[in-house]
Amino acid sequence: QVQMVESGGGSVQAGGPLILSCAASGNTYRLNCMGWWRQSPGKERERVATVYDDDRGAPRQYYATSVRGRFTISQSANRNTVFLQINSLQPEDTAVYYCAGVSSLIGYCPSSESGYTYWGQGTQVTVSS
At 123, give phi and psi (nearest 5°).
Answer: -135, 135
Give residue 54's pLDDT. Answer: 87
Rounded Cα–Cα distance for residues 53 and 42 (Å)? 32
Q: Report which of 84, 88, 105, 106 is spatially closest to residue 36, judged by C-alpha positions.
A: 84
Torsion sign over Cα 76, 34, 74, 60: positive
- pLDDT tens string for the chain (129 positions)? 999 999 999 999 999 999 999 999 999 999 999 999 999 999 999 999 999 998 888 899 999 999 999 999 999 999 999 999 999 999 999 999 999 999 999 999 999 999 999 999 999 999 999
Rounded Cα–Cα distance for residues 57 and 99 (Å)? 23
